Amino acid sequence: MSVATPPAPKERRSARDSSASWRWTDRLGLAFAWVLGVMFLLITVGIVIYLMVQGIRFVKPEYFVTSPSAGFSESETGGFLDPLVGTIVVASLAMAIAFPVGLGVGVWLSEYGRPTWLARITESTVEMLAGTPSIVFALFGVLLFQHPALGLFSQSTDGVVYGRSFFAAAAMLALIALPLVVANVREGLQAIPGHVREASYAVGKTKIATTRRVLLPAARPSVVTGAMLGVGRVIGDTAVIILLLGATLKIVPAEGPVGELRGTGSTLTSFVFQNAPTGEANQPEKAFAAAFVLLAMVLILNFAMDVVVRRGRRLTWGS
Amino acid sequence: MGFLSPPPVRKLPLAGEDTARVVEPNGNGASSFVSSGRRAVASTSLAVDRMQVEELSIAYGSKLAVDSVSLPIRQGEVLALIGPSGCGKTTLLRSLNRLTELTKTASLKGRITLDGDDTATFEPTSLRRRVTMVFQQPNPFPMSVFDNVAFVLREQASRRPRKRELKGAVEDALRRAGLWDEVKHDLAHPALRLSGGQQQRLCIARALAANPEVLLLDEPCSALDPQSTQVIEDLIVQLREEVAVVIVTHNLQQAYRIADYVAFMYLGELVEYGPAEQVFGAPKQERTREYVSGAFG
């Protein structure tokens, strides 16, 4: 048998060296992409740092525990306790609707999808929701919740339904978060190789048991990503809040059971809107402070999401 | 027994060489697997018929994948399905526990029986607990080592029976798969942290947990390193005493090493079925002879 002696390896060129043979158009393209990338980074970081620096100067601990009040100067107008609570309440309510529905729709689209025509319609509907401006949802919500049949979700006086409440705002915000949840759940499930499903069927498990015990746990990073992106969108939305939460800076409970949720209030976004130099209240220091808190919330959310996703992606199958 | 002359070995080009070379085997047969390296074959007198495939044809749409195949599957023997890619061997394997039904276009004719009962009359889930399968890619479920095995023993999606009640059965399955000693202290660890070979043995443990009659293996070693392959091959040979084993493999050496019976398939047909020594050593069909000597495939 002829024994092959491997020839001395040729001198290897690293990837960097090999770019020496690039054409000048390629180099220009690379330079262009690089400059744009760095520019984008600088602009984003610039905005975040500017707002952080601006905001942190004005944030005072007592703002977190005092309600807003009427006044002419920054020292008289109180803090943003109500908007902070409002943000948390409205986000929780919206996700309480969007998450289960989105999870269900995502699982159905990825794992069942029968009949096909219905799945296709659902898919494009969800995509349409994702592309709809939130002010449109807000306007729709105003009309919807003013209907007497939905009067129990808000305050009504003498048969006239006010139509603005935490419930109303959360319902419309749920529509904004829904496509993000659906898309991520679906993507996560579809990234699971087919043989993993079959392995579960091949030991006698039903489709439902497989989905619950194998697929959803495997898709957890994507599910969490969807939920957190949804929360991010919800706490950042302003249009729906302004039209549907009643534009009262303080939380004003309605009469009757669960009055707080049927009443009106504000969130950090609408608080910033009101207090911005162009807003009605014009208390820029308050606006910056609230914007800082809002930004911090979103950044923490993103960071948490990153941690969860990173941890989850480490353990997975070959395809 | 007339062994073939060793097949020529095609060498892939090394760096700096332009073309592939064909190395003619030298006379002592060292480059051929036939006539060497075969494990000691235990007697197969224990063999019991478990499954019977009768005139089975499977088509995907209008494309025939398996063409009226009949063969027995016996406990006490390892049956290897060999043949070139696309010959229908995996389809045949998947039809044994009705996984083919998951493909919408698949249609099936003929009969498969398990201990005398037509598998078509079974509830798929109960059939698949008796005829379990291990796949090419190790695919432990995203849960702990313990739960991977316990999942199979539990009612569908429930968490009952409880962990305590399943300890014995889980340990037993892990022992049978030869994994217990390596994982007994890490039962709570995520299964996906195990090495590839361990993952595959966990998949085998999982497949054994429900005490099936038949174990189907679809190229179980093709994603593994030689050492893990060796471990799993030894395991398969041991397992055939307690469960009928059917293995699909692309690796002829592997089929030769572990199989008692070999079925050679080509273009959906069962060309030859017989004891491993005969199929590799003295194939009756020309196509089998060409395939096992590496002429095509």
Assess A199–B contact: CB distance below 8 Å, yes or no: yes
Q: In chain A, what residues touch B206 (CB-CB under 8 Å)?
A: 199, 203
Q: How far is A6 from chain B (nearest CA, A)?
A: 7
Assess A20–B contact: CB distance below 8 Å, yes or no: no
Report CB contact under 8 Å: A195, B137.
yes
Task: Decide: A83 and A267 in contact? Cβ < 8 Å.
Answer: yes
pLDDT for res A73: 79
Among A1, A204, A316, the residue with its CB nearest the CB of B128 is A204
Domains of chain A: 44-65+72-313 (1.10.3720.10)
Assess A6–B contact: CB distance below 8 Å, yes or no: yes
Q: How far is B291 from chain A (nearest CA, A)?
A: 23
Assess B11–A contact: CB distance below 8 Å, yes or no: yes
Helix (H), strand (E), coil (C) string for chain A: CCCCCCCCCCCCCCHHHHHHHCCHHHHHHHHHHHHHHHHHHHHHHHHHHHHHHHHHHHCCHHHHCCCECCCCCCCCCECCHHHHHHHHHHHHHHHHHHHHHHHHHHHHHHHHCCCHHHHHHHHHHHHHHHHCCHHHHHHHHHHHHCCHHHHHHCCEECCEECCCCHHHHHHHHHHHHHHHHHHHHHHHHHCCCHHHHHHHHCCCCCHHHHHHHHHHHHCHHHHHHHHHHHHHHHHHCCHHHHHHCCCCCCCECCCCCCHHHHCECCCHHHHHHHHCCCCCCCCHHHHHHHHHHHHHHHHHHHHHHHHHHHHHHCCCCCC
- Amino acid sitting at position A308: V
Q: In chain A, what residues touch B223 (CB-CB under 8 Å)?
A: 318
Is it the case that residue A275 has pLDDT exceeding 70? yes
- Residue, of A19 and B146, whose pLDDT is higher: B146
- Give the nearest chain A residue to B128 (CA atoms): A204
* Tokens read off for A120: 């296709």
The CB density around residue A221, as the number of other CB atoms within 10 Å, is: 21
What is the C-alpha separation between A310 and A56, in angstroms, rounded?
30
Q: For A1-25, what is the mean pLDDT?
A: 64
Determine the straight-line distance between the first and last CA of chain B, rounded to whole angstroms: 25
Assess A3–B contact: CB distance below 8 Å, yes or no: no
Domains of chain B: 1-32 (no CATH), 75-102+117-292 (3.40.50.300)
- Give the nearest chain A residue to B126 (CA atoms): A204
Q: In chain B, what residues touch A316 (CB-CB under 8 Å)?
A: 192
- Amino acid sitting at position A277: P
Q: How far is B44 from chain A (nearest CA, A)?
A: 28
pLDDT for res A250: 86
pLDDT for res B121: 93
Q: How far is B83 from chain A (nearest CA, A)?
A: 22
Q: In chain A, what residues touch B141 (CB-CB under 8 Å)?
A: 196, 199-200, 213-214, 217-218
Assess A100–B contact: CB distance below 8 Å, yes or no: no
What is the three-class DSSP state of B197?
A: helix
pLDDT for res A316: 81
pLDDT for res B159: 80
Report CB contact under 8 Å: A193, B143.
no
Size of interface A-B (CB pairs under 8 A): 107
Q: In chain B, what residues touch A218 (CB-CB under 8 Å)?
A: 141-142
Burial readout B255-276 (b: 16 or more C-beta within 10 A, e: otherwise): bbbbbbbbbbbbebbbbbbbeb
pLDDT for res B31: 40
pLDDT for res A1: 47
What is the C-alpha separation between A180 and A232, in angstroms, rounded?
10
A6 confidence band (pLDDT: 50, 70, 90): low
Report CB contact under 8 Å: B207, A202.
yes
Assess B135–A contact: CB distance below 8 Å, yes or no: yes
Report CB contact under 8 Å: A204, B152.
yes
Q: In chain B, what residues touch A2 (CB-CB under 8 Å)?
A: 21, 23
- Amino acid sitting at position B54: E
Assess B169–A contact: CB distance below 8 Å, yes or no: no
- Give the nearest chain A residue to B96 (CA atoms): A202
Task: Decide: A106 and A181 in contact? Cβ < 8 Å.
Answer: yes
* Tokens read off for A186: 């679906």
What is the C-alpha separation between B280 and B29, in angstroms, rounded?
14
Among A4, A209, A316, the residue with its CB nearest the CB of B156 is A209
A19 confidence band (pLDDT: 50, 70, 90): low
pLDDT tens sequence for chain B (297 residues): 444 455 555 555 555 455 545 554 444 433 455 554 555 455 455 678 899 999 999 999 999 999 999 999 999 899 999 999 889 999 999 999 999 998 889 999 999 999 999 999 999 999 999 999 999 999 999 999 999 999 999 888 788 788 888 899 999 999 988 899 999 999 999 999 999 999 999 999 999 998 999 999 999 999 888 988 998 999 999 898 889 999 999 989 899 999 999 999 999 999 999 999 899 988 999 999 989 887 565
pLDDT for res B79: 94
What DSSP designation does B97 have? Answer: T
- Amino acid sitting at position B21: R
Can you list the pairs that B45-48 forms with residues at least 24 positions away whose Cβ atoms lie under 8 Å? B45/B76, B46/B75, B46/B76, B46/B241, B47/B74, B47/B75, B47/B76, B47/B77, B48/B74, B48/B75, B48/B76
Q: How far is B251 from chain A (nearest CA, A)?
A: 21
The per-residue pLDDT for range A122-169, each reduced to its tens digit, is 999 999 999 999 999 999 999 999 888 888 888 877 778 888 899 999
Is it the case that residue A12 has pLDDT exceeding 70? no
What is the C-alpha separation between A171 and A97, in angstroms, rounded?
7
Q: For A235-242, what is the mean pLDDT?
A: 93
What is the C-alpha separation between A285 and A258, in angstroms, rounded?
34
Assess B151–A contact: CB distance below 8 Å, yes or no: yes
Q: How far is B100 from chain A (nearest CA, A)?
A: 10
Q: How far is A181 from chain B (nearest CA, A)?
A: 21
pLDDT for res B148: 93
Please name the residue ranges forming H helices in chain B.
Answer: 89-96, 124-130, 145-153, 163-176, 180-183, 196-209, 226-239, 252-258, 276-281, 286-292
Assess A218–B contact: CB distance below 8 Å, yes or no: yes
pLDDT for res B292: 87
What is the C-alpha separation between B97 and B88, in angstroms, rounded?
15
Assess B141–A contact: CB distance below 8 Å, yes or no: yes
Mean per-residue pLDDT of chain A:
88
Task: Decide: B147 and B156 in contact? Cβ < 8 Å.
Answer: no
Q: How far is B43 from chain A (nearest CA, A)?
A: 30
Report CB contact under 8 Å: A2, B141.
no
Is it the case that residue A278 has pLDDT exceeding 90? no
- Give the nearest chain B residue to A198 (CA atoms): B99
Report CB contact under 8 Å: B128, A209.
no
